[in-house]
Structure 1
């Protein structure tokens, strides 16, 4: 009984001298602090709201900014880095440099792009299965290449027309490219917007070739294609020369 009585006296004293209120207040403050930490954490509701507000302000500002001076400095930095980079990283850095340096072209003719691709094929076509011509000096046989434009079936209700610009090499499928095109039906200039679908991850940059880089730049720069031709065929002689053999 004495123990029970003493406990009642202690509780009564704590309730009357404000100790319990202080303890409750302390834990309540801690509860609020924990709740605020959760709200302001990486995945908290308040953080999400603040992030969206900052994004709505910063993105238009960054898009409107002129990066010309920055690009010039970036070019110098990348050139210096390339001089001191291991071979494994050079392709990636070269491709990154080519993508970042501004050389915007508003439009390009399909025939001009065909000429660029023709040169690319001559320098990169796989010669393993090509025959060797021994007239005059040993050289690989010519390879057939062509340009085609395949227009999609038009919908009477659509405001857009769609087509695919195709570059095809008969001897090496790795040289082939297809580019999606679109334009307003009422566009009097008949210039087509370019869409080249390709992964843009940094890790994939080392595996891109020069023609892919060009198509990606055209896509991101909004370069338009003028279809001054819808079909071309030609022959290309590989730049590589067969190794000399001695009987």
Structure 2
């Protein structure tokens, strides 16, 4: 009986402290949270209602908006992207086409090669640091200096009939533009004529067509045709070259 009385006393005390109301409130709060979670979830009824109202406002507005301005901008962006991605491929195709044109030239004077170098310098010299001439009406850059020199190496002991050398092409105003062309000559066969060494083709091949200049393609064609170079001028020569590019001048 004492145990039963104690149980009754505990229950009465808890009831008086409002435990029932507290538990109901906790469960009610939990039920409301779960219900709201379901209603506001991805597939909840409230979510569907809100989504329906948003669609009813946004879709007519978006459908009636004038996108012509953005279409023009998009068209411009697409053109620029196509130009940038196609330019490298165009250069490859142009170089490949030029490289495949047969060169029926058994011999060429070194002075002719130098003329091609001068054309290359005129078109490709870096102009950022060049001075501008204002004397003759339209502003131009002052002429730059294109140079060519030939250096012969000592003949190796094991082959006294073979002579090696290097033709160096430079531009005083643009050091990055110049490069060296390895050449050789069999003195008992070629006399005073030179051949382009195969080392040139090792660094200038089909895989690098994207980067090759017109002058380098010209030299590759000489090599492929087996054209011999005749030294018809001094081993060292230079000349003034008119720059093709014109400066952009802002008149104040």
Cα distance in 1 for partners of 2:148, 2:205 equals 26
Question: Match for residue 241 of structure 1?
Answer: 246
Cα distance in 2 for partners of 1:88, 1:155 equals 43
- Find 1:170's aligned residue among 172, 179, 182: 172
1:227 and 2:228 aligned: no
Cα distance in 2 for partners of 1:114, 1:228 equals 11
Q: Extract unaligned runs of 5+ from structure 2.
A: 1-84
Which 4+ stretches in 1 moved above 6 angstroms?
Answer: none
How far does residue 212 in structure 1 lie from its aligned partner after superposition? 0.8
1:220 counterpart SS class? helix
Question: Match for residue 26 of structure 2?
Answer: none
| Range that drifts further, 105-114 or 156-165 | 156-165
Cα distance in 1 for partners of 2:104, 2:218 equals 11
Question: Match for residue 150 of structure 1?
Answer: 151
CA deviations 1:154-207 (Å, max 9, x no partner) are 2354220111111111111232121111111223641111122424243x2111
CA deviations 1:34-75 (Å, max 9, x no partner) are xxxxxxxxxxxxxxxxxxxxxxxxxxxxxxxxxxxxxxxxxx
TM-score when normalising by structure 2: 0.60
Question: Match for residue 211 of structure 1?
Answer: 215
| Range that drifts further, 182-191 or 118-127 | 182-191
Count of residues in Structure 1 that have an aligned counterpart in Structure 2: 162
CA deviations 1:78-130 (Å, max 9, x no partner) are xxxxxxx9434111101111111212311111111101111111111111110
Question: Match for residue 67 of structure 1?
Answer: none
Cα distance in 2 for partners of 1:121, 1:225 equals 21
RMSD: 1.8
1:160 and 2:168 aligned: no
Greater Rg, structure 1 or structure 2? 2
